Amino acid sequence: MKALLLSLLVSSAIASPVESMRVEGRDGWVVTDDPAPRLEWTPSSTDVARWEVQAVVGEGDYQGKKAWTPAPFNALEGPWRVWAGPALKDGDAVRWRVRAIDEKGTPGSWSEEQHFERGYPGAWVSQWIGMDPQLRGSAAPLFRKQFEIKDETSHARLYISGLGYHEAWLNGVRLGEGVLEPGQTDYGQRVFYVAHKVEHLLKPGPNVLAVRVGDGFFNQNKVWGPNGMSYGEPRMCARLIRRLPNGASSELSSNTSWECQTGAITSSNIYHGEVHDARLAIEGWKNADFDDSGWHPVVEMPAPGGTMEAESLPPIVRQPALAVKKISTPEPGVRVFDFGQNFTGWCRLKVEAPAGTRISMTFAERLGDNGRVDTLSTGTKHTKADQKDIYICRGGGTETWEPSFAWHGFQFVEVRVTDGEAGLLELEGIPVHTRLPVRGEFSCSDPLINRLLDTAHWTQVSNTLSLPMDCPARERCGWTGDAHLCVPFTMYRYESSAMWRKYIGDIKSTAERTQPMLTFGAGMGDRKVRPKAKGIPTMVAPGKRFIGEASPDWGSAIVFIPWDVYQFSGDERVLSRNLAHMRQWTDHVANLADEKGIVHAGLGDWCRPRQPDQKGRVEPRDYYGEVIPMLSTACLFRCADILAKTESLVGDPKKSAKWRSLADKTREAFFLAMDAHDGWSYQTIMAIAIEWNISPPERREEIAGRLAEQVRKDGDHFMTGVFGAPSLWPALADHGHEELANRMLHIETAPGFRYLFAQGATSFWEVWPDEADKGTRWERSMSHPFQGAFAHWFYSGLAGIRIADPGFKTIRLQPVMTRQLDHVNCRFRSAMGWIESSWKRDGDTLAWTIEVPPGSTAKVYPPGKLVPASSGDATEVKVPLMLQSGTHHLKVQLAD
């Protein structure tokens, strides 16, 4: 019976070889323009010695001419394969599957089939169409095309791009789950289109394609200058490609035969919000039997200029609704709804009121002393725009509404009802963000640490709407420096590689700009306008609000992000495809260095807490800039160090020596700068000296000791800005100062996390609140993810899951032990598969559960002696202890 049970268990493990299949980091049906996409999967069993993949283009079988059947390969190579089958043509459909082969050479069952398709990149024959601006005004235009079909449809795809955002319906059915589509790009360089399967919606007889288009970022014409940052009037372009059962095909394209009209959305702006007059809604316009004889002909619009590309990251989607936690009435006629959480999205309104009743909703991150919303932190001082949605009722019953083309960062909503009275008025909060499946599960015995992770999560997802943003209300921009700091946390926490690859493309596309723009010298105040060289990144990407040529600390994102994504994914293509830009940037920064190799240009350690003697005396931007010579020089070192490794992997090995020589020279310059600029008093500089490998190994203990001494001088407070925080905790904890690192988390006074939460924070703020600065801090954002970037340490430090080889082919397991933690539970879906490092302390004994995915090896560093499973004394083991694929249970007698 035992033998039979064992056989059943093994058979079950092999029968279900994978639990997730992805193409370029995305699950489900995927359309990609990549001619050689990476196929990925997550093992569901650790009993895998080899993998086998089969794929076929079109309707053939897995043994036909269009099949791709590479030889089975060792699990050590990773559960992925880059497409090397038949060359893919536009519109080609691919089916693929995978199976595992165990150590005995027994193959398991094939997985379910996964599907992806090649899109239609490049120039389209379809016309870009829009509405006459005189007819449109500021409304969101509606477009319709009615068409007849005589035959059944076996296969149909709609490829569509409506700029800035669009919604589409076919025969009255809304297409896709995504909102705010397509994702933002620099539209003059590239434009995303969205693909939909639609054969099930087409029918013989009359059909209609209906589209609504909002301004979005494409026609953001009200903020940041007299014309905003507009690329022009809203427009759309579409292709409906249909295949018949007999193999014939036909195409319906956008052209001047379409019709247009305005509807209920009379205005939409990213910063100002949306106005919806339900009395102007056109009933039935999305249906094929609608009479559009009173509609206007569309006008042809120029193409935006960018190359058409399939949207390369998951869509922005609605999340589960949030209920209102509290409703107050600070004064007559004003109701304030508190959702208890700072998030990004909008409200779903449910109302009963007479026609013409005006519901005004103003969104904010905090309340003023009078109990009403205070919009200062959402940017009103800079944008002159309140986040406000207005709904005008149609009357006649219960109305439910949510905006289509506006989104807000908020916790509180102030509602006013004018021009009528509402008998029923209810709100739900609708969070939205790019779909980011959580792949890093973490919890521990410390409620504060769990709350910090939850806060980092909310702040990060609230700032991920097709790109990593700085904040969701005031600026909503992809600041490059903010972004590169967040990569490790997001790669541990989410399936985010597709989002980061898209953002690298954003940096590169906006880097094509060459017009005169700001360049930054030694600090924010040292600015000049000059032409930018083509290929050098800008401070912000994508879009027209690029601010200026990137400073060394911000623009190094073009090197740091590809490298970090490669480390987590093991995908060398992210290096080879960006190597030219990485080289150009590093040469550029090297040319900024003085004769000693020190780089003096930059912005510095942004949002660093001020020392008590500097409050009210030193301007924050000057204070941040005190570390520029060291921080910018460190950025040059890290760029050169990365390039030396990258050239050996995917570039020119002969050039590796050049970059290694530059790195060595820059290391010397960094320590010269530290001595010349009092670098030994800055937590950030000492922390990155250790974590960025600037310090030679023999000096790290010394530098960590000096760092710990400085933290104690600072009252056990962290005094790092955003560049230092991700390095501070590991630099201390990995060098014997783990209890000090833990005390910094729990400090009660400002700057500190407990003090932040005592102020009511549910997200990480741009600047740290302190007792002496209560007035001016409300001018700054209350949702800034770069302040939560340190949370990667929960995975790499407290759970101890670290990268030893790219893609986690070799894992380093070395958790940090502190007396305040009783247990940690962590599972992380790496590129190789699930990794677990969960431990529980019982007195001086530790029970540690480890899972190693197929093909990986774990280097394990027990924090003490191993206790054998059978009776016997605890024994020292040679470290690292090498563990292969499987689940392991260790018992450790903790060191004193």
pLDDT at 825 over 90: yes
Strands of 770-874, DSSP E: 801-803, 810-813, 823-829, 834-842, 845-852, 857-860, 864-866
pLDDT band at 763, cuts 50/70/90? very high
Helix ranges restricted to H, 399-464: 447-461
How far apart CA 770 and CA 759 sit, in angstroms, is 10
How far apart CA 777 and CA 766 sit, in angstroms, is 9
Phi, psi of 38 (to 5 degrees): -90, 125
Question: What is residue 871's predicted lDDT score, i.e. its pLDDT?
Answer: 61
pLDDT band at 526, cuts 50/70/90? confident
How far apart CA 586 and CA 56 sit, in angstroms, is 42
The structural domains of the chain, with segments of one domain joined by +, span: 2-118, 128-311, 319-434, 549-798, 803-894
CA 821 to chain centre: 30
pLDDT tens-place string over residues 615-638: 554 566 677 889 999 999 999 999
| Max intra-chain CA distance, the chain | 90
User: Is 409 strand, coil or helix?
Assistant: strand
Helix and strand tally (H, E) in the chain?
19, 46
Average pLDDT, the chain: 94
Residues 6+ apart with CB under 8 A from 443: 450, 824, 825, 826
Would you say 370 and 330 are in contact if contact means Cβ atoms under 8 Å apart? Answer: yes
The closest alpha carbon to 573, from 30, 17, 40, 21, belongs to 40
User: Is 562 strand, coil or helix?
Assistant: helix
Residues 6+ apart with CB under 8 A from 563: 575, 642, 646
The CATH number of the structural domain formed by 803-894 is 2.60.420.10
Would you say 463 and 475 are in contact if contact means Cβ atoms under 8 Å apart? Answer: no
pLDDT tens-place string over residues 173-188: 999 999 999 999 999 9
pLDDT at 75 over 80: yes
pLDDT tens-place string over residues 316-359: 999 999 999 999 999 999 999 999 999 999 999 999 999 999 99
How far apart CA 158 and CA 63 sit, in angstroms, is 30
Question: What is residue 614's predicted lDDT score, i.e. its pLDDT?
Answer: 52
pLDDT band at 1, cuts 50/70/90? very low
Would you say 814 and 793 are in contact if contact means Cβ atoms under 8 Å apart? Answer: no
Dihedral angle over CA of 176, 499, 536, 561, nearest 10: 180
The CATH number of the structural domain formed by 319-434 is 2.60.120.260
Helix ranges restricted to H, 48-96: none
Burial classification of residue 333, based on how many CB atoms lie within 10 Å of its CB (0-12 exposed, 13-18 middle, 19 or more buried): exposed
> Where is 4: in which H helix or E strand?
helix 2-15
Q: Count of residues for the chain?
A: 896
pLDDT tens-place string over residues 303-319: 999 999 999 999 999 99
Question: What is residue 872's predicted lDDT score, i.e. its pLDDT?
Answer: 63
User: Is 572 strand, coil or helix?
Assistant: coil
| Domains 128-311 and 319-434 belong to one CATH topology | yes
Phi, psi of 575 (to 5 degrees): -85, -50
The closest alpha carbon to 264, from 404, 125, 375, belongs to 404
pLDDT tens-place string over residues 461-475: 999 999 999 999 999
Burial letters for 342-356: b for 16+ Cβ neighbours within 10 Å, e otherwise?
bbbbbbbbebbbeee
Question: What is residue 893's predicted lDDT score, i.e. its pLDDT?
Answer: 94
Structure tokens at 755: 């003090």
Burial classification of residue 624, based on how many CB atoms lie within 10 Å of its CB (0-12 exposed, 13-18 middle, 19 or more buried): buried
Work out the angle between the directed axes of helices 725-733 and 480-493 (0-180°, nearest 10).
50
Question: What is residue 623's predicted lDDT score, i.e. its pLDDT?
Answer: 76
Question: What is residue 16's predicted lDDT score, i.e. its pLDDT?
Answer: 60
CA 795 vs CA 286, 427, 598, 847, 856: distances in Å = 48, 37, 34, 18, 18
User: Is 829 strand, coil or helix?
Assistant: strand
Would you say 782 and 765 are in contact if contact means Cβ atoms under 8 Å apart? Answer: yes
Residues 6+ apart with CB under 8 A from 675: none
Structure tokens at 556: 């190094």
Question: What is residue 624's predicted lDDT score, i.e. its pLDDT?
Answer: 86
Query: Please, which residues bridge with residue 251 across strands?
Result: 241
Would you say 520 and 503 are in contact if contact means Cβ atoms under 8 Å apart? Answer: no
Over residues 523-534, mean pLDDT? 88
> Where is 441: in which H helix or E strand?
strand 440-444
pLDDT band at 14, cuts 50/70/90? very low
The CATH architecture annotation of domain 128-311 reads Sandwich (2.60)
pLDDT band at 671, cuts 50/70/90? very high
For residue 395, the one-letter residue type is G
> What DSSP assignment string belongs to 651-665?
S-HHHHHHHHHHHHH
How far apart CA 273 and CA 295 sit, in angstroms, is 27
Would you say 261 and 296 are in contact if contact means Cβ atoms under 8 Å apart? Answer: yes
Q: CA quadruple 66, 72, 77, 78: dihedral positive or negative? A: positive
More confident residue, 506 or 612: 506
User: Is 161 strand, coil or helix?
Assistant: strand
Phi, psi of 815 (to 5 degrees): -70, 150
User: Is 308 strand, coil or helix?
Assistant: strand
The closest alpha carbon to 607, from 382, 756, 768, 774, belongs to 768
pLDDT at 209 over 70: yes
Question: What is residue 7's predicted lDDT score, i.e. its pLDDT?
Answer: 30
Q: CA quadruple 723, 724, 729, 733: dihedral positive or negative? A: positive
The CATH number of the structural domain formed by 2-118 is 2.60.40.10
Question: What is residue 619's predicted lDDT score, i.e. its pLDDT?
Answer: 64
Over residues 652-666, mean pLDDT? 97
pLDDT tens-place string over residues 690-734: 999 999 999 999 999 999 999 999 999 999 999 999 999 999 999
CA 677 vs CA 240, 318, 681: distances in Å = 63, 49, 9
Question: What is residue 9's predicted lDDT score, i.e. its pLDDT?
Answer: 32
> How many percent of the chain have pLDDT more than 70?
96
pLDDT band at 774, cuts 50/70/90? low
Would you say 449 and 442 are in contact if contact means Cβ atoms under 8 Å apart? Answer: no
Question: What is residue 480's predicted lDDT score, i.e. its pLDDT?
Answer: 98
Range scoring the smallest mean pLDDT among 56-65, 436-445, 861-870 = 861-870
pLDDT at 779 over 90: no
Question: What is residue 771's predicted lDDT score, i.e. its pLDDT?
Answer: 61
Question: What is residue 612's predicted lDDT score, i.e. its pLDDT?
Answer: 61
The topology under which CATH files domain 549-798 is Glycosyltransferase (1.50.10)
If one counts every other C-beta atom within 10 angstroms of the C-beta of residue 428, the result is 18
